[in-house]
Amino acid sequence: MRSFIRTVNRISEISGKILMWFAWILAFIIMWEIVARTFFNMPTIWAHELSGMFFGALSILSGAYTLRQKGHVNMDLIYMNRTPRTKAIMDLITFPFFLLFVITILWLGWEFAWRSFKILEVSQSDWAPPLWPIKFTIPLGAFLLLIQGIANLCNDILIIKTGKGETY
């Protein structure tokens, strides 16, 4: 169980480090558009659409890394001053809601992306980039979030049983 937790945590860490570059690329694209539009009066066709795609991918794919870092919202008033074991029990109780949420996103996201792939959907803009690759980030992000959630569940079980889990 500990090796599963460490492996999933490592996957989330690596994906987080990769996604960090998406933010830099996004900033560069937006800066490029601002400079081209403002100083050279040459707006681009692609910058707005590509920045939306990068932002969407960054948002959906970073969920597992955020969960790994305990960055999602908690009810701090109730959660903050509890022992690790009490927090683990609370996480265990709320896990079915997490599971329902993530499986719904995974299922509907897969259908959404697969439909887009089957017709090789492209944007309606003049640039017309393919949309199906970016739509596949939805089920991929949900899958990464699911396995990180399961790893966190395993860690919570370890904490409840032994008082010690894998360190964060």
Q: How far is residue 32's CA from residue 104's CA, in Å, rounded to a whole number? A: 37
Q: How far is residue 76's CA from residue 74's CA, in Å, rounded to a whole number? A: 5
Q: How far is residue 71's CA from residue 145's CA, in Å, rounded to a whole number? A: 13
Under 8 Å CB-to-CB from 148, ≥6 apart: which residues? 8, 9, 11, 12, 64, 67, 68
Q: How far is residue 113's CA from residue 157's CA, in Å, rounded to a whole number? A: 34
Structure tokens at 78: 């109730």
Under 8 Å CB-to-CB from 116, ≥6 apart: which residues? 131, 132, 135
Under 8 Å CB-to-CB from 99, ≥6 apart: which residues? 146, 149
What 3-state DSSP class applies to 130? strand
Enumerate residue ranges in the chain where pLDDT < 70.
167-168
Per-residue pLDDT, 81: 82
Nearest to 93 by CA among 106, 79, 81, 107: 79
